[in-house]
Structure 1
């Protein structure tokens, strides 16, 4: 994987841009641990101050420093994305590996469960669950809820790859040597799907952050917890743009644009790198 990152950083401008932006975003998220302010407290600084040397990105109408709030928001949004992606990719990959290799009744049962979650109307259900659990909603809880609707797509894609891999000679050799099913799928097959898992992991992070922003706009996220979505929510609630407090609303919007674009570039570059056809085209162009 490190070799892939090294090659992409050298030869892919989009990946290089996205990777650098992601490092900056992660750095800002880490800075939240050194914040002098309580992220959930209001009236800690003068209200509605424009950007200055003292307040780099200005202050809000509720007395919060926009820069430090953004740092907390990035940390929480990234944590949400990581939790969702970890749960989703773990379940989806395990289901796809086992169903694809085993086949038969187990495959039909797992794929029926998989398809059931795919056809469920996710957003209305998410709205209902978020409203019901709003008082106890946190990053982990919301991530677990979102993962319910993101794992099936990965599970079906992994299964498709395993259906091809199980017909390869090395699979037959492993089977005849006495290796068990779990050992075969996780030691022989998983390395082939791992690069795809990485790309899908990134896409799931983006999807979960986008869903949290959508829920927060409706006031259905944990509103006292700083995230990209709740920053936009509170700025809208206090009509920041109409009152001329542009730095309050533009900061999370611009941050979300850079966040989505950078992750998209990285994910696209990895997917392109793993496609043999595009790799051959790049090699011929460089040649």
Structure 2
């Protein structure tokens, strides 16, 4: 009986096999941001988030899947609509989420080098939740640090602690959101495991990470003084210097309609400048340098 052996691969053949590049699903790259870290920032928005904050300004980030939305203002109500981005004659149908390699993202953010140099700015990874695509975040941050960029992330801390620590060590700043401090309400309203998120914050502090707490001021959810004082009580042992306040706004309201998602805060007014200033003064009295807007 004749036997057939599979051909052996020599070393030269093996060396030519390249690993499949790591990709991340990105839904926006926003330039010239002044509120997501020091200096002028370019913000890379990761798609996918485990939380369901009713006030989310980026509801298109919730699903990790590539999604589509219809902009009613652009829609011409054509009779041949196939709900297809390439076929739509007016550009009303838009794809949300693009798979990009590390090099793809680098090619985009390096276009803003002049702004980083003149303002001591850099690149911030946001979302969604960066921890939902931790492998890609680590690969991207490693490349950015190799190239000498200032880096930061925005996070809720809701995710794998080992991944978070590895990501944080590649950052110059970690902007960490504190929302609802009642564990039951936090779980019911936004889906966060508060104890786990707070423990992740503690671990970052133990690793000497540059932490900047951020407090979204959401009427009816986070901005009452009882909730704010619980945040301050938790933060006191860490002896941090800065806190950022993020006042509620309605800038993302129109996105809910395009995505076909109910927006629960449609009729909630943004807090007045006086209310925000009073909260700023209250926190500043505890010894913090308070920045409105981050």
The structure with more helix, counted as a fraction of residues? 1
- Flag whether TM exceeds 0.5 (same fold): no
Q: Considering fraction of residues, name the structure with more strand.
A: 2
Q: TM-score range with shorter-chain normalisation?
A: under 0.3
Q: Which has the higher contact order (CA 8 A, sep 6+)?
A: 1
